[in-house]
Structure 1
Amino acid sequence: MKTVYKSKVDKGLLIAIIAIVLLSYLPLLFEFSWIALALLVVTAAFIADPFCNTSYTIDNGTLHIKCGIFLSSSFPIDRITKISKTNSCLSAPALSMDRIEIRFADKKTLVLSPNQRQAFIDHLRSLNPDIVVKPPL
């Protein structure tokens, strides 16, 4: 069964990005240019896309990550060894600073911010009971 978990979105981050995008439109008030408007609209679309399309899907023992139109990855759930809370600000398919770090058997890590964190972790653990959650989240 396929289950989709959306990314949690920090309101502060969203407001900051909207403010930056709106401020970039200010020069158009003084000197209008169709080319500048087109570039700003395309840029705004690329910035907004991850806010609408970041999700984590669990399907057939695989965790599928989607972040906008550019990032799509899959990870085997049976290779997950540990889940822990993190506040890492490293680039990640996570739209919130309320993040979890998933560690795999090969020592690779993945940082996510599921909106329904506990349900997401419980779902992963139902498929792989060997996952250690530290500290209990």
Structure 2
Amino acid sequence: MKTVYRSRIDWWIWATACFFFVVLIVAAIGGIGLISFLIFLIGFGSIFAITFFGVWYAVEGNELSVYQFCRPHRFPINKIKAIKSCKSFLWGPALSSDKLAITFTDRSVLKLSGPMYISPKDKERFVGQLLEINPDIKINL
């Protein structure tokens, strides 16, 4: 059974979106014209919609799927070595600074030497489900 976890969204992401829309409205009042306003509104709206709703995580069988911009990346749960809670503004498939750093036993899984950062809304349930599949994961929350 597939379990989906949405990404936590920090206030600063919402603040950035509001800032861009306020700038767009001020520009429209300043005289950029209706057509230009609509083009920018649709463009910015699409970018923010994809950013806000295009990041989620799914656990199905022995696979952790990380969706970023609606494109999945699959990782074997039995290759997860450790999960650590961290605060970081490093970019990854996460919309929050309150993240989980996932380290793998094999560097070829992630193709990076560092951990993967994600930010599920329900961290405890997410980690619990991963532990059910792979009880050897070291946890530091």
User: Would you call these one fold, judging by a TM-score over 0.5?
Assistant: yes
**What TM-score do you get using the length of structure 1 for normalisation?**
0.87
Q: Which residue of 2 aligns with 1:124?
A: 130
How many residue pairs get aligned? The number is: 134
Unaligned runs of 5+ in 2: none
DSSP 3-state at the match of 1:121: helix
Question: Using the alignment, how far apart are the partners of 2:98 and 2:30 within structure 1?
Answer: 40
Question: Using the alignment, how far apart are the partners of 1:63 and 1:131 within structure 2?
Answer: 14
1:22 aligns with 2:22: yes
Q: CA RMSD in A?
A: 1.7
Unaligned runs of 5+ in 1: none
Question: Using the alignment, how far apart are the partners of 2:26 and 2:59 within structure 1?
Answer: 43
Q: Which residue of 2 aligns with 1:104?
A: 104
Q: Which residue of 2 aligns with 1:13?
A: 13
Aligned residues of 2:88 and 2:98 also touching (Cα < 8 A): no
Q: 2:119 aligns with which of 113, 116, 133?
A: 113
Question: Using the alignment, how far apart are the partners of 1:23 and 1:39 within structure 2?
Answer: 11
Identity of aligned residues (%): 28
Question: Using the alignment, how far apart are the partners of 2:36 and 2:27 within structure 1?
Answer: 13
- Equivalent residues in 2 for 1:16-95, closer than 5 Å: 16-31=16-31, 32-69=33-70, 71-95=71-95
Question: Using the alignment, how far apart are the partners of 1:76 and 1:19 within structure 2?
Answer: 39
* Shift in Å, 1:33: 4.4
Aligned residues of 1:25 and 1:40 also touching (Cα < 8 A): no
For residues 13-68 of structure 1, what are the alpha-carbon distances to aligned partners after superposition, in whole Å with 9 as ceiling and x for unaligned?
Answer: 31232222321332111221413531332122112222123211000210111123
Moved over 3 A (4+): none
**What TM-score do you get using the length of structure 2 for normalisation?**
0.85
Aligned residues of 1:28 and 1:37 also touching (Cα < 8 A): no
